[in-house]
């Protein structure tokens, strides 16, 4: 949620602030703003809506200055208006903020009683008032920041400019990530590596509770107690710096097509193609684990639900998957022999992180299966299970989802070996099947034309039902989520067996029923469900393989994906399902990469 950039530069910074904000726009796009220091005074430009609107504003009212901060907003407190757009100012202080200040109402009341007046409805503005109040009490800027941090509660990241201090930006993180970028005679802070990627590949990740002061040449980092600390400088890959759409119309389209490579890269981290063995996680033996508790949100939770079938069937390992926002508040009874696993693309989702911390505090061993390898979850969990999808910019997750399934499938095979459920030759057989996944995903992308044709009719629907059995049930849930989030068509995913228990009442000729059913052990039962829908005048679209296509009841429109072993069928079936949502959204003229009300990384509850 919300993107932050700050530059202490040698050259004018506005263009680079804007470049960075465009890269961060996936984090939120309700409003955007920049501020710089010009002749000791802070100037700001803000605009409601996307970065484009801010660009237009800057054309009419350019902004000079060699030091500045920028922000792209996903609104939490206060409507998405220019008035509520960051940066927020009070006296000498101008700042941008990602996250939520939980005690802002109380602080605002106190400040108002002291005569402060506010120009926005945001929680953020309170921080500017607090820092300014500390400055007027005689604090130095750093002490004013520290004293303010001690007064606020919640999860946040900040970048702060002080009028008159034109060689300094301060930053702080608690709960939301913040990185420091080291340039040559220039320094940066940003929400993630993408923010500073084009300017430097030397990055330090602030730890929880840290605050920082950057000037032209250095960063002074302090921990929550105010003691000076060093955080290691890492060299980040060029991939983080170079995220472009290439020849694709949308990031989502590009990311769907990147799945053969992202699956391949992820497989490389969990399997050895030469020996056909999986690669165990150092320090973790699944034989010592009695249960797996996966916590995740949204698409990541559906990847986890698919994996549950494998951990249980292959490795005989009881596995629960729970939505993190529910898990964290129900005081779950846990045993310390349970391995807690957080699945998350960003590694920053507030609820998933809180659930992971809850498990850790309860004495469980924890693993983070994340695509952002330097994220908070990655750093806090006992075991890091990386996915190698690369930066995912489209708000609707696609390649991160299949990378999660890939990694979890390989881990289920490892678990099966370590728990003595399969021997080396069975492991080799499963690894060889897994290694076929990139090729078969590539082949399934060839359904594109067929899917695009189906999208024309589907785009006219008001409601769509998705059905699947076994591992295709979570994929049905994912299909429905993808469609609703980018095309705004109401869609529901159901276990096909549940059809008769209620949802069949929705079936009519206007409601497409999308059934995901490869020709596996469930196929016949699902075929009966198709017939039940057709008998009631419903329209069935079947995503299946060749054999399934040959056995489809009459009257069904069929998309044929390549046949595959059930171990990897969820991976092979994902691409056509994602493409349907994509082409329906394109057909409807929707904003595919930045759907309304959403943001890529949900760092607030």
**Strand extents, DSSP E, 314-422:** 319-323, 338-344, 365-370, 383-386
Binding span for ligand F6R by CB under 6 A among 190-198, 291-299, 464-472, 573-581: 291-299
The angle, 0 to 180 degrees and rounded to 10, between the axes of the packed helices 298-315 and 472-487 is 170
* Number of other CB atoms surrounding residue 383 within 10 Å: 16
CA distance linking residue 482 with residue 480, whole number of Å: 5
Sign of CA dihedral 527, 530, 534, 539: negative
| Shortest reach from residue 397's CB to ligand F6R, in Å | 3
Question: Which of 24, 101, 297, 393: binder of ligand F6R (CB under 6 A)?
Answer: 297
| Shortest reach from residue 209's CB to ligand F6R, in Å | 22
Among residues 354 and 396, whose Cβ is nearest to ligand F6R?
Answer: 396
End-to-end alpha carbon distance in the chain: 11
- Alpha helices per DSSP H over 523-592: 523-535, 546-550, 569-587
Asked if residue 298 binds ligand F6R (CB under 6 A), the reply is yes
CA distance linking residue 446 with residue 321, whole number of Å: 32
Q: Per-residue x/- mask for ligand F6R, residues 483 to 512, rule CB under 6 A?
A: --x---------------------------
Asked if residue 259 binds ligand F6R (CB under 6 A), the reply is no
Question: Which is it for strands 41-48 and 31-38: parallel, antiparallel or unpaired?
Answer: antiparallel
Among residues 542 and 602, whose Cβ is nearest to ligand F6R?
Answer: 602
- 101: part of which helix (H) or strand (E)? strand 93-101
CA distance linking residue 135 with residue 141, whole number of Å: 7
| Shortest reach from residue 82's CB to ligand F6R, in Å | 27
Asked if residue 300 binds ligand F6R (CB under 6 A), the reply is yes
| Shortest reach from residue 131's CB to ligand F6R, in Å | 31
Indicate the residue whose CB is closest to ligand F6R: 298
CA dihedral 295, 296, 302, 308 (to 10 degrees): -20
Asked if residue 349 binds ligand F6R (CB under 6 A), the reply is yes
Question: Which of 396, 459, 586, 592: binder of ligand F6R (CB under 6 A)?
Answer: 396
Question: Which of 34, 206, 368, 602: binder of ligand F6R (CB under 6 A)?
Answer: 602
Which one, of 473, 36, 91, lies nearest residue 45 by Cα? 36
| Shortest reach from residue 267's CB to ligand F6R, in Å | 20
Burial class (CB in 10 A: 0-12, 13-18, 19+), 395: buried
DSSP 86: S
Among residues 471 and 548, whose Cβ is nearest to ligand F6R?
Answer: 471
| Shortest reach from residue 205's CB to ligand F6R, in Å | 17
- Cis? peptide before 87, omega within 30° of 0: yes
CA distance linking residue 126 with residue 372, whole number of Å: 31
- 490: part of which helix (H) or strand (E)? strand 490-495
| Shortest reach from residue 349's CB to ligand F6R, in Å | 3
- Which token pair is 510? 């206007």
Whether residue 264 contacts residue 312, with contact meaning beta carbons closer than 8 Å, is answered with no
| Shortest reach from residue 353's CB to ligand F6R, in Å | 9
CA distance linking residue 23 with residue 72, whole number of Å: 10
Number of residues that bind ligand F6R (CB under 6 A): 15
| Shortest reach from residue 344's CB to ligand F6R, in Å | 3
Question: Which of 14, 376, 418, 601: binder of ligand F6R (CB under 6 A)?
Answer: 601
Contacts of 223 (CB under 8 A, 6+ apart): 207, 209, 210, 229
| Shortest reach from residue 594's CB to ligand F6R, in Å | 12
Sign of CA dihedral 104, 107, 112, 118: negative
- Alpha helices per DSSP H over 161-297: 193-196, 238-241, 251-257, 259-270
Question: Which of 201, 266, 305, 352: binder of ligand F6R (CB under 6 A)?
Answer: 352
Chain centroid, CA 130 distance in Å:
32
Chain centroid, CA 306 distance in Å:
18
Q: Which of residues 450-489 bind ligand F6R (CB under 6 A)?
A: 481, 485
Question: Which of 66, 266, 319, 397: binder of ligand F6R (CB under 6 A)?
Answer: 397
| Shortest reach from residue 272's CB to ligand F6R, in Å | 27
Chain centroid, CA 104 distance in Å:
27
Q: Per-residue x/- mask for ligand F6R, residues 309 to 348, rule CB under 6 A?
A: -----------------------------------xxx--
CA distance linking residue 82 with residue 343, whole number of Å: 36
Whether residue 33 contacts residue 105, with contact meaning beta carbons closer than 8 Å, is answered with no
Residue 204 phi, psi (nearest 5) = -115, 135
Asked if residue 175 binds ligand F6R (CB under 6 A), the reply is no
DSSP 280: P
Among residues 319 and 397, whose Cβ is nearest to ligand F6R?
Answer: 397
Catalytic residues: 2, 600
- Which token pair is 222? 């302090």
Residues lying near ligand F6R in the complex (CB under 6 A):
297-300, 344-346, 349, 352, 396-397, 481, 485, 601-602
């Amino acid at each position: 949620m919300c993107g932050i950039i700050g530059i202490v530069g040698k050259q004018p910074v506005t263009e680079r602030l804007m470049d960075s904000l465009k890269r961060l726009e996936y984090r939120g796009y309700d409003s955007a703003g920049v501020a710089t220091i010009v002749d000791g005074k802070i100037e700001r430009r803000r605009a409601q809506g996307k970065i484009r609107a801010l660009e237009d504003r800057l054309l009419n009212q350019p902004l000079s200055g060699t030091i500045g901060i920028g922000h792209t907003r996903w609104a939490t407190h206060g409507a998405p208006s220019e008035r509520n757009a960051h940066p927020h100012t009070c006296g000498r202080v101008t700042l941008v903020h990602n996250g939520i200040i939980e005690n802002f109402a109380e602080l605002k009341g106190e400040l108002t009683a002291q005569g402060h007046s506010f120009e926005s409805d945001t929680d953020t503005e309170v921080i500017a008032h607090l820092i300014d109040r500390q400055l007027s009490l005689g604090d130095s800027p750093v002490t004013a920041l520290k004293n303010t941090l001690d007064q606020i509660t919640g999860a946040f990241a900040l970048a702060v400019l002080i009028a008159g201090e034109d060689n300094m930006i301060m930053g702080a993180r608690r709960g939301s990530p913040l990185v420091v970028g080291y340039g040559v005679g220039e320094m940066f802070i940003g929400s993630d590596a993408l923010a500073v990627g084009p300017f430097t590949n030397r990055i330090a990740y602030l730890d929880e509770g840290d605050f920082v002061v950057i000037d032209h040449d250095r960063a002074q980092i302090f921990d929550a107690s105010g003691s000076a600390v060093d955080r290691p400088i890492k060299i980040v890959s060029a991939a983080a710096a170079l995220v472009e759409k290439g020849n694709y119309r949308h990031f989502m389209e590009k990311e769907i097509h990147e799945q053969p490579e992202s699956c391949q890269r992820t497989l490389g981290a969990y399997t050895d193609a030469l020996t056909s063995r999986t690669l165990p996680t150092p320090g973790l033996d699944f034989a010592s684990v009695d249960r797996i508790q996966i916590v995740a949100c949204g698409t990541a939770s559906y990847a986890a639900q698919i994996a549950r079938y494998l951990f249980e069937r292959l490795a005989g390992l009881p596995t629960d998957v729970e939505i993190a926002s529910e898990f964290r508040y129900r005081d779950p009874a846990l045993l310390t022999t349970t391995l807690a696993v957080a699945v998350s693309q960003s590694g920053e989702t507030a609820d998933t992180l809180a659930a992971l911390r809850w498990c850790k505090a309860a004495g469980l061993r924890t693993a983070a299966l994340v695509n952002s390898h330097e994220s908070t979850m990655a750093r806090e969990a006992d075991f890091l299970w990386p996915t190698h999808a690369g930066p995912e910019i489209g708000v609707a997750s696609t390649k991160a989802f299949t990378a999660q399934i890939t990694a979890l499938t390989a881990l289920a095979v490892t678990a099966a070996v370590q728990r003595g459920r399969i021997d080396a030759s069975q492991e080799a057989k499963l690894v060889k099947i897994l290694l076929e996944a990139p090729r078969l995903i590539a082949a399934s992308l060839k359904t594109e034309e067929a899917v695009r044709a189906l999208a024309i009719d589907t785009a006219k629907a008001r409601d769509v039902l998705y059905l699947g059995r076994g591992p295709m049930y979570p994929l049905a849930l994912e299909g429905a989520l993808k469609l609703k989030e980018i095309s705004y068509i109401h869609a529901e995913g159901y276990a096909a067996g549940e059809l008769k228990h209620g949802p069949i009442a929705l079936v009519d000729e206007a409601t497409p029923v999308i059934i995901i059913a490869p020709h596996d052990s469930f196929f016949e039962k699902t075929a009966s469900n198709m017939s039940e829908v057709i008998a009631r005048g419903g329209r069935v679209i079947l995503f299946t393989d060749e054999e399934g296509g040959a056995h489809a009841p009459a009257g069904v429109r069929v998309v044929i994906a390549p046949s595959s072993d059930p171990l990897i069928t969820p991976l092979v079936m994902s691409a056509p399902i994602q493409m349907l949502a994509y082409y329906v959204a394109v057909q409807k003229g929707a904003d595919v990469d930045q759907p309304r009300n959403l943001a890529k990384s949900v760092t607030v509850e």
